């Protein structure tokens, strides 16, 4: 069952990848069929609709990847700041004792 365009942001990533590969496979089959039969308006409309769905899914996967990268960069910066401010006070105990 194809994913509705309004449901794409709520679908799991693995399902999006599967749908993307399925649609790409179907698109390739449709292209072969169009080449054999030449210009067929019905097939051309189906191809256009399929390519639109592929674009929606591809764009959602791009956004998710960009979000992951941005989150990883944020966490690296956050952890770098934390480690910078954490000091090992055990080394300073001898200096503070009388």
Q: How many CB atoms lie within 10 A of CB 90?
A: 7
The model carries a pTM of 0.72
Domain assignments of the chain as residue spans, ordered by start: 12-84
In 3D, which of 1, 2, 21 has the Cα closest to residue 61?
21
Residue 86 has φ and ψ, to the nearest 5°, of: -80, 125
pLDDT in tens, the chain (98 residues): 678 889 999 999 999 999 999 999 999 999 998 888 877 788 889 999 999 999 999 999 999 999 999 999 999 988 887 766 666 556 555 555 55
What interhelical angle do 13-37 and 41-85 show, nearest 10? Answer: 150
């Amino acid at each position: 069952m194809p994913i509705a365009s309004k449901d794409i942001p709520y679908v799991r990533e693995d399902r999006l990848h599967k749908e993307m590969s399925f649609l790409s496979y179907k698109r390739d089959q449709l292209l072969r069929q169009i080449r054999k039969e030449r210009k067929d308006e019905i097939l051309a409309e189906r191809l256009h609709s399929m390519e639109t769905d592929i674009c929606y899914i591809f764009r959602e996967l791009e956004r998710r990847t960009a979000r992951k990268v941005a989150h990883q960069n944020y966490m690296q910066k956050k952890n770098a700041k934390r480690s910078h401010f954490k000091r090992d006070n055990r080394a300073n105990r001898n200096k503070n004792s009388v």
